[in-house]
Amino acid sequence: MNDMTPARADAAPAAPTAPAPTEFGAADWFRAEVDRFIEEMGKPGRSLLSFVPRFVMPKPAIELTDAGDSYRLSAELPGLTDKDVKVEIADGILTIAAEKHESAERREEGCLINERRHGHFQRQISLPVDADQDDVTAKFKHGLLTLEIGKSRKAAKRVHKVKLGD
């Protein structure tokens, strides 16, 4: 039977074939992005925004510790300056946001290469109930944001026991 011969009506239908695997599936894409991230880490002049995959901006590491009379919050923001970062506290929610625009122009082998990058992130955390949002000091040095958040003496922790009924 050649390609031009019509199929017989009494012939069993052909079994469906599985679709051919894609050359670059989701797992391969993710692996490639991780490989690219690791490879780029060792190159000089890179920042947090340089490592951003095309779809997701990584959120910086944040640590909140109890320092006795205050809370200490640290956030790692490599490659950013104090002009790139905005910190706000409203209704017990601390917001750290940053936006950065980078542009570089160079000539290589007779070609003009102009690269532009833009990235932003926002990170929000709920502060403890006794955090005093009016008593906050901030320092930003070498990509490390440190906040000292005082504790309110008026906002003593309250415990209300609930009586269980039948």
- Return the CATH number at 107: 2.60.40.790
Cβ neighbour number for residue 106 with a 10 Å cutoff: 9
What is the pTM (predicted TM-score) of this model?
A: 0.55
pLDDT above 50 (res 60):
yes
pLDDT above 90 (res 96):
yes
pLDDT above 80 (res 142):
yes
Contacting residues for 69 by C-beta, under 8 A, at least 6 apart = 150, 151
- Residue 26: predicted pLDDT: 62
Let me know if residue 30 belongs to a domain.
no
Of all residues in the chain, the percent with pLDDT exceeding 90 is: 30
The structural domain count of the chain equals 1
Q: Which domain holds residue 134?
A: 57-151
- Residue 141: predicted pLDDT: 94
Let me know if residue 105 belongs to a domain.
yes
Let me know if residue 18 belongs to a domain.
no
pLDDT above 60 (res 20):
no
Let me know if residue 6 belongs to a domain.
no
- Confidence band of 75 (pLDDT split at 50, 70, 90): very high
Q: Sign of dihedral through CA atoms 34, 81, 105, 108?
A: negative
Q: Sign of dihedral through CA atoms 79, 81, 86, 88?
A: positive
Average pLDDT over residues 54-79: 82
pLDDT above 90 (res 55):
no
Let me know if residue 41 belongs to a domain.
no
Q: Which residue has the higher pLDDT, 128 or 36?
A: 128
Of all residues in the chain, the percent with pLDDT exceeding 70 is: 67
Q: Which amino acid appears at position 141 of this protein?
A: K
Let me know if residue 81 belongs to a domain.
yes
Write out the DSSP string of the chain.
Answer: --TTSPPPTTSPPPPPPPPPPPSS-HHHHHHHHHHHHHHHHTSTT--GGGG--SS-PPPPPEEEEE-SSEEEEEEE-TT--TTTEEEEEETTEEEEEEEEEEEEEEEETTEEEEEEEEEEEEEEEEPPTTEEEEEEEEEEETTEEEEEEEEPSSS-----PPPP--
Distance (Å, whole) CA 80 – CA 60: 11
Let me know if residue 67 belongs to a domain.
yes
Let me know if residue 61 belongs to a domain.
yes
Cα radius of gyration (the chain)? 28
